[in-house]
Amino acid sequence: MPGVSMLWPDSAASSDRLMVDSGAVTDLHLDRIIAAIVGADEYRLRAWFSEPVRGPETVRYRQEIFADLADDSVREVFDAFAAGMRGTLERLDWQERLHHPQQRQSWQLGAAAEYIEATARFAEALAGLPLASRALTRWRGFLTDYVAGPDFGRLATAVHQVQRAVSSVRYSLRIVDRTLEVGPVGAEADFSAAIAKLFSRFGVGAPRPGRPRSEWDDINHMEEQILDRVAALHPRVFEQLAEFARDHGQFADAAVMAFDREIQFYLTYLAFVRRVSGTARAMCLPQLATRGAPMHAEGAFDLALVTRRGRVDTEVVCNDLRLSGPERVLVVTGPNQGGKTTFARTVGQLIYFAALGCPVPARSACLPLTDRLFTHFERAERATDPDGRLAEELLRIRDTLEEATADSVIILNESFSATSTADAVRIGGDVLERIVERGAIAVWVTFFDELARSGPATVSMVAATDPGDPSRRTFRIERRPADGHAHAVVLAERFGLTYDLVTARIAACG
């Protein structure tokens, strides 16, 4: 019976993917964010989080599921099912490590029982949930039919019959000298109370409990011999157990197993959202902007910043951005260490996670689905590069401009700083002109204020400082004209090291 995909609106996976520039994954710290999302990645989710799409139908399909699961009461039902399936998979995994046949068969029976219980409870709980997404409503119909169908019914009956038979097994253990005899249960007297009473006169209390035995512990060689003899005492029961293991080697429905893995794409990401969201920041499902429509985000923040160890509960400054009408490029200027690069990374992350159909790091947003995501970050010069850093940058930006389209996004960070200011401004102006000609969206972090005054397609954003202390950064990125106040100049003024002040002191000393 075919199931329902939680990732794709049809049975075939979409080939309409967002192409991410090779350096963008590290430049935007996407690798760190994905690692924080998937953790140990027991469900092999990394590949899905590494494949953003650009098809609006697929993105909306996923957003619908996220919207359903945003309801805590709904998500708890799916979490409970996932926990039950995790128990099933853990039992099957442990079964593979065992050698004794009856023990292996018993673990398989336990896994099947947990699968039956988790699936039946899930189907019952789904019936009353307020689901709106196409995927989950179709899945509810599929699961209802599956649980009511003959295959599930036969499996449940077989599990219950064998469990009842196994639970009826009784045997006795008798210690004779240095031997242990296994036999049927008879009328043997229980001397435990008498022995406890006898030893109590010597001040010996009740026996101390030993280390709690986990059900995951393997049995030792003596327990294996006991199990062999118990099986010989109850051949019919253990024949039933062996028959069940033989007939139900693959008891779990393939569609249910596929759903269990695919739904983790959503549950795992939502668990991540709960960890990184706070009172001062939120994440949202963005609206999708068509080509040329306004793009905006309010309260946006850098996901990588809050996933660093020890940073999840710390305050992170959120910023806003907007492009409308002819505006295509955000040019970000201001002092060093003022949050400019963090802001640029945030924009790239917004684009990336919107293309996954996931909530994005912003209070509200309307974002485009792009065909390519490029980054052009400053690279350290390599001694083996005969042409130098500037030539390498020019080659990279040439390749980017050749491939960029009106649906592309380009994130540039301190590009062309390896040359003189005059040359950098001239080169930057030419690059900016070509980006605008292609209609691409861009964010450019630069020290050159001239680029922020390039025309109606350019929006100036400035990393702000405290008006009372211009040397203190606020990490707010404000939409306003570039002011030309380099941070070095501010520091020089603060400590009396400007040209005029230094020359005045020298003259005074003379």
CB atoms within 10 A of CB 356: 22
Statement to judge: residues 152 and 7 lie in one domain: yes
Give the separation between CA 50 and CA 67, rounded to whole angstroms. Answer: 22
* Domain residue limits at 397: 279-509
Statement to judge: residues 331 and 313 lie in one domain: yes
Q: Is the pLDDT of residue 510 over 90?
A: no
User: Which region among 117-121, 157-161, 439-443, 465-469 has the lowest average model confidence (pLDDT)?
Assistant: 465-469
Statement to judge: residues 447 and 336 lie in one domain: yes
Give the separation between CA 103 and CA 127, rounded to whole angstroms. Answer: 37
Tell which of 242, 259, 276 closes a domain: 276
- Whether residue 159 lies inside any domain: the answer is yes
User: Residue 408: is it exposed, middle or buried by C-beta count within 10 angstroms (0-12/13-18/19+)?
Assistant: buried
Tell which of 231, 257, 276 closes a domain: 276
> Which pLDDT score is estimated for 313?
58
- Whether residue 213 lies inside any domain: the answer is no
pLDDT-derived band at 501 (thresholds 50, 70, 90) equals: confident
Statement to judge: residues 77 and 130 lie in one domain: yes
Task: List pLDDT tens digits, range 270-321.
Answer: 999 999 987 778 999 999 998 889 999 999 999 999 987 555 556 789 999 9
pLDDT: which is higher, 386 or 342: 342
> Which pLDDT score is estimated for 332?
96
Statement to judge: residues 356 and 470 lie in one domain: yes
Task: List pLDDT tens digits, range 74-132.
Answer: 999 999 999 999 999 999 998 888 889 999 999 999 999 999 999 999 999 999 999 99
Q: Three-class SS of residue 367?
A: strand
Cβ-contact 264, 45 below 8 angstroms? yes
Q: Is the pLDDT of residue 216 over 60?
A: no
Joined tokens for residue 6:
């939680």
> Which pLDDT score is estimated for 20?
94
Give the separation between CA 3 and CA 7, rounded to whole angstroms. Answer: 12
- Whether residue 156 lies inside any domain: the answer is yes
> Which pLDDT score is estimated for 255?
96
Statement to judge: residues 237 and 170 lie in one domain: yes
Distances in Å between the Cα of 476 and the Cα atoms of 38, 265, 300, 403 are: 30, 33, 11, 33
Statement to judge: residues 253 and 138 lie in one domain: yes
Q: Is the pLDDT of residue 488 over 60?
A: no
Joined tokens for residue 379:
């690279």
Give the separation between CA 336 and CA 407, rounded to whole angstroms. Answer: 31
- Whether residue 123 lies inside any domain: the answer is yes
> Which pLDDT score is estimated for 211?
52
pLDDT-derived band at 468 (thresholds 50, 70, 90) equals: confident
Statement to judge: residues 458 and 415 lie in one domain: yes
Tell which of 210, 244, 276 closes a domain: 276
User: Residue 65: is it exposed, middle or buried by C-beta count within 10 angstroms (0-12/13-18/19+)?
Assistant: buried
- Whether residue 424 lies inside any domain: the answer is yes
Task: List pLDDT tens digits, range 134-167.
Answer: 999 999 999 999 999 999 999 999 999 999 999 9
Number of domains in the chain: 2
Joined tokens for residue 48:
């899905």
Statement to judge: residues 434 and 361 lie in one domain: yes
pTM confidence score: 0.87
Statement to judge: residues 256 and 326 lie in one domain: no
Position 53: which residue type? Answer: V
> Which pLDDT score is estimated for 378?
78
> Which pLDDT score is estimated for 269?
98
- Whether residue 226 lies inside any domain: the answer is yes
pLDDT-derived band at 5 (thresholds 50, 70, 90) equals: very high
> Which pLDDT score is estimated for 221?
86
Q: Is the pLDDT of residue 423 over 90?
A: no
> Which pLDDT score is estimated for 415?
84
Residue 285 CA neighbour count, 13 Å, CB half = 17
User: Residue 469: is it exposed, middle or buried by C-beta count within 10 angstroms (0-12/13-18/19+)?
Assistant: exposed
Looking up residue 429, the CATH number of its domain turns out to be: 3.40.50.300
Statement to judge: residues 77 and 2 lie in one domain: yes
Cβ-contact 411, 348 below 8 angstroms? yes
- Whether residue 200 lies inside any domain: the answer is no
Average pLDDT of every residue of the chain:
88
pLDDT-derived band at 459 (thresholds 50, 70, 90) equals: very high
Statement to judge: residues 374 and 471 lie in one domain: yes
- Whether residue 197 lies inside any domain: the answer is no
Joined tokens for residue 495:
């400590």
